[in-house]
Amino acid sequence: MSFLSQGFSPDIVRALTECGYEKLTPVQQQAIPHARRGQDILAHAQTGTGKTAAFSLPIIQQIIDEPKPRSRANVRALILAPTRELVDQISKNIESYTQYIDVNVVAVFGGAKMSSQERKLEKGVDVLVATPGRLIEHMELGNVSFANLDFLVFDEADRMLDMGFIGAIRTIMSGVVGHPQTMLFSATSSPQMNALAQDLLRKPKRVIVNAENSTAETVAHVVYPVDEDRKRELLSELIGRKNWQQVLVFVNYKETANEVVKELKLDGINAVLCHGDKAQSARRRALEEFKSGKARVMVATEVAARGLDIQGLPHVVNYDMPFLAEDYVHRIGRTGRAGQQGHAVSFVSREEELTLVQIENLIQQRIKRVQLAGYEPANRDALLVKMQSKPAYKDRQGRTNNADDQGNAERRLRLMRAIKNKSSKTTRLKK
């Protein structure tokens, strides 16, 4: 299906052709016709499916079909996204789609100067792309108003909920007059997500690109069972031996990210860091170096890498398994994008086996295990001894995996038994 057949103006189609877009992706095929008819949309689609164009092209076309005076009190479309990186990416995409037409896009997000954003807002905005926190600051200062909003988009809505933006969303909604056409995009679904959708959307058309909570079909998943303390060596070994050229590595902690980058560099592999302690400019520079191929590896924490669009990314490595199975879906959404083959590799220590089982249940797929000779994990008894002697760490909910009292030792033993049972159940899952 071509973009011209969807009634987009030749100037938009010309820009899309220059972006390399010839045909609509599945999410675009499903969402664009409804969006063009002015309907609300609830879409389950992950990053990499072409969702940005799916929601933004109908908005852009409508803005040029029905021009209105441009001012900061006349924002036509508001697009909310959870992170500054995603906001930056969405606004850049829209700028490239609108390069031959007169549509003004402004991005506002935290970590950048208020004053320069204020100046842009003062000039008038057609499409505003924003993170919730910074947007509220601008609303409170009267820098922008949504009295005449025609379109409202929530991108990665599940992420916004995870990050605790529900209050911020309600504050923003209290400043929105009437009911703009609203589109909500989310990679995963949950009861909280459904409740939000019910509040925000009017008779929405549902768009489901993959089965809910499933991962892109073009991704090959592989698990390397390995002990925690051998992961660093394994990473260098695989990158070198398999000659992986562009590798996004996810870790759970900033400290791990720092260590992994240091080790990779010692092994002669050029790696950059992307985590929350890094300034926005440093993160952007790291991303540029990674995208351009100057850096072969980018090591990132979940929050920092959320929503990043790195075109044609061939390899994603879960150096640590995510705390939540849903995060696996988000992480590997960086690879296998827009129809290209991707490769998702997970390093799974014995301690992380339970998460692996949860992930397999979520994506309804058994992930292939590959054992690299020399990296076989030690046996379970050795693991128990090691777990008891290791310092505790805390996950996002503040749960510790290893306190040293007797009760916890017993809990761990029960957990290990549960893992064993679950693992034997998993082997029955479909290959």
Binding footprint of ligand AMP on the chain (CB under 6 A): 19-21, 24-25, 28, 47-53, 309, 311, 337-338
To the nearest whole angstrom, how small is the minimum distance from the Cβ of residue 47 to ligand AMP? 5
CB of 270 to ligand AMP, least distance (A): 23
Q: Which helix (H) or strand (E) holds 412?
A: helix 406-426
Measured from the CB of residue 76, what is the shortest distance to ligand AMP in angstroms?
20
User: At CA 215, angle to CA 54 and CA 239, rounded to 5?
Assistant: 110
Nearer to ligand AMP, 144 or 304 (CB): 304
Q: Which is nearer to ligand AMP, 22 or 381 (CB)?
A: 22
Closer by beta carbon to ligand AMP, 19 or else 141: 19
Locate 17 and state its tokens.
């052709």
Give exposure, 238-247, as e/b (b: 16+ Cβ within 10 Å): bbeeeebebb
Based on CB atoms, which residue is closest to ligand AMP, 20 or 142? 20
CB of 331 to ligand AMP, least distance (A): 14
Cβ closest to ligand AMP, residue 84 vs residue 412:
84
Based on CB atoms, which residue is closest to ligand AMP, 98 or 349?
Answer: 98
Rg (CA), the chain: 23
State the nearest-atom distance from the C-beta of 396 to ligand AMP, in Å.
Answer: 25
- Residue 124 or residue 314: which is nearer to ligand AMP going by CB? 314
Shortest distance (Å) from residue 43 CB to ligand AMP: 11
Contact 109, 90 (CB under 8 A): no
What's the CA gap between 83 and 216, in Å, rounded?
22
Q: Write down the least CB distance from residue 24 to ligand AMP, Å.
A: 5
CB proximity list for 330: less than 8 A, separation 6 or greater: 46, 47, 159, 187, 188, 302, 306
Tokens representing residue 151 in the block: 């379109």
Q: How far is the CB of 219 from ligand AMP (least distance, A)?
A: 14
User: To the nearest whole angstrom, how small is the minimum distance from the Cβ of residue 107 to ligand AMP?
Assistant: 15
Minimum Å gap between C-beta 54 and ligand AMP is: 7
d(CA 297, CA 273): 9
Q: Which is nearer to ligand AMP, 49 or 256 (CB)?
A: 49
Is the CB of 91 or the CB of 349 nearer to ligand AMP? 91
Letter string b/e over residues 58-80, b meaning 16 or more CB atoms within 10 A of that residue's CB:
bbbbbbbeeeeebebebbbbbbb
Neighbours of 2 (CB within 10 A): 12
Q: Give the residue with the Cβ less far from ligand AMP, 79 or 247.
A: 79
In order, the DSSP letters of 255-310 are HHHHHHHHHHHHTT--EEEE-TTS-HHHHHHHHHHHHHTSSSEEEEEHHHHTT---
Rounded CA-CA distance 64/390 in Å is 61
Q: Give the integer Cα–Cα distance in Å for 364 and 429.
A: 8
Rounded Cα–Cα distance for residues 198 and 186 (Å): 14
Q: Distance between CA 244 and CA 324 in Å, rounded?
A: 27
What is the SS3 assignment for 101? coil
- SS3 at position 70: coil
Q: Are 211 and 187 in contact, with CB atoms under 8 Å apart?
A: no
Nearer to ligand AMP, 20 or 164 (CB): 20
Angle at 201 between CA 196 and CA 206, to 5 degrees: 95
The CB-of-109 to ligand AMP minimum distance in angstroms stands at 17
